[in-house]
Amino acid sequence: MTQVERRAVLDATLSAGAKTAYLIDEPLAAAIGAKLPIASASGNMIMDIGGGSAEAAVISLGGVVTHKSVRVAGNKVDEAIIAYMKRRHNLLIGETTAEEVKIRIGSATVLAPEEAMEVKGRDVVTGLPRAMAITSTEITEAIRSVLLQIVGAARGVLEQTPPELASDIIDKGIVMSGGTSLLRNLDRLMTELTGVPCHVADEPLLCVVRGTGVAIENLDLYKKSVTRR
């Protein structure tokens, strides 16, 4: 969020009747929810990939040391599948269908054996409904450029990380949270392109909300990490 967006969301919350409003950085909330030891002096890296944005951060001593965010995540993956189907197969599909394709046969790396599924949509040329089979390899090709942008955020953070913390991250690896981290083999692609082992947190969909809950219940412990208004 930009500073303008931060002020706007605080103002909106207070206008709605809240006595006090707090803002916590999403990667920090995700790290708390993933049960990372954020208060320790060693470095921990979290990669939170949701629907609208991907956030990478290195956390140490309860605060964010270095951070990078890109507004590319699950929604852009869906859009890439829609664009690919239109460009390559002249078939218009909706967001719901694209998400179903992503979940069922989507993969960050080429699957062996290859998987396939039937996709239904509207033919661009005739305007009539049409069904066709599509393979997992095609979906991997379709979403590759979007995934590279997400990995780019992680690489950008690693490049800015102090050497002492970088060695901690190599030992511990990168923890991934958020719904898009459930995309098959995304952790493997991240490992290949960053050289740092990556693994998905337990229940990645709930990391941010759980971390926010913990921060609310322990505001004295996390007061350095939240913005109060």
pLDDT, one tens digit per residue, over 28-75 is 999 999 999 988 899 999 999 999 999 999 999 988 999 999 999 999
Alpha carbons 127 and 152: distance in angstroms, whole number: 39
User: Can you give the pLDDT at residue 57?
Assistant: 96
Token digits of residue 24:
């916590």
For residue range 98-122, what is the model confidence (pLDDT) as tens digits? 999 999 999 999 999 999 999 999 9
CATH number of 74-137: 3.90.640.10
Backbone angles phi, psi at 14, to 5 degrees: -70, -35
pLDDT for the residue numbered 223 = 81
Spatial separation of the C-alpha atoms in residues 79 and 179, rounded to whole Å: 16
Report field, pTM of the whole predicted structure over 0.85: yes
Question: SS3 of 21, please?
Answer: coil
| pLDDT given at position 130 | 96
Contact between 176 and 166 under an 8 Å Cβ cutoff? The reply is no
